Structure 1
C-alpha cells in the first residue's frame, strides 16, 4: 500500500483548467485527463472534495466592470461553476467513479443541495464530492469557497492546482526571469507580502482554521498524486500564523 500524507483533501480547480489551450468553454479531452488524475488519487484511498471555478465561462468581476450589478454578475458566475461541476462529474463517472455534485444554490433537478453532514457521509462512503456554486453568496470567490468547505468537512489540506505555475513566486516568473520561488510560506506571509495566491478572505479563513494549502502545477501528469503522497513539490502554505 502506498503511504499517503493527506487522507481527506479539497482540490481547488480553476475554471480555466477545464478549457485547455482555448482558454474558454469546456474542452472534453482536458476533462478526461483531469478526471484520470483524480481517479489515480482516489484509488489510493484518499477522500476527495473538489471546488471548481467558472472563469472559463463567466467572471462576475468582468460583468461588474461592464456595468452589471455585481450581485447579479456573481450569480451568473456561480451558475458557471455548476456547468463545470456537471462536466467533471460526467468525466469521473465515465471512469467508474461514484460522484455527487452539491450546489450552494439549490437546483435539485441536477444536483444535491449542499448539506455539510451529507457531504461528509458521501466522502466516508468513498464518493467524490464536487462543491459547486461557490459559497452561494456574491462577492465571494471560489478560493473562499474552497477554504470554507475545507473547514466544514475537516479536510487535511487544500490543493490549489495551477496552470503552468509550479508554486508561489515573489514576482510573475513569466515576466521577471529573476523571480524567486518560495518552498514554504505561512498565510500571514501571503497577506503581509501581498502575494497574489488567493483572495484575502480565503487566506484569513484557512489561517483561522489552521488549514494548509499546497500550490502546484497541475499540467504536469501525476502531480496531484505526488502532493498527496507527500512529495515536496510546489509551495506549501501553512494554515497557522506561525
Structure 2
C-alpha cells in the first residue's frame, strides 16, 4: 500500500494537532497549512509534518501550497479544511471589514481549498475532502453572526460538492462539531465531568474512520457532540 498524503488547512492546536498526530501514526505524509507557521514548530517536530505558510482566503497562496505538496509528496489523498475566524460582537458594533475577513477565511477559503484539492483528486479518481463545521453550521447564536455566516456557507459548499464529486470518486464530508473541544475550551479546575468537552483525539479517530469508508456507504455529514451536550 502506497503512503498517503494529507493536507490540513487552518492547522493549529486542538483538532488539527490531534489529526496530525493520528495520521502520523498511520504513516501519512502530512502538510500543515496556516497563516502563522511558527506556532506549528512543536507539532512539526513531533509528527514529521511539513508546514506551509498561506492565507486560506488568497487563491494564489492556496494553489501554491498544493503545487508544492504535489512536488514533495504527490497529490493529496485526504484534505481537511479547518480554517475559521471567531469574530464576535453585537451587530451594531461589528466592523464590516472584519466581518468580510471572517467570511472570506471560513467560507471562501473552503472553496479555494476544495477547488485545489478537487483538481488533483479528480485526475486520480479518488480522495477525501472534509470540512469542519460547528454548532453554528446549523444554529446561529447572538453575537456570533460572522462565524455562523461562514459556517452556514461552508455546509452548503460541502453539500453541493458531495453531490457533484461523489459520483466522480471523491468522498466529501461535513462534520458538525456540536460543542467545545477540550483543548480549546477546558480550563484547569473547572467543575463537572472531565469529558464534558469533545476530546480532539476522539474526533481525529472519527475523521480517519470516515476517510477509510467504503464508497458504497459514504458518510456525507456527521454530528459529533459530548454526551452532556444539549440537542
**TM-score for the superposition, normalised by structure 2:** 0.43
Higher normalized helix content (fraction of residues): 2
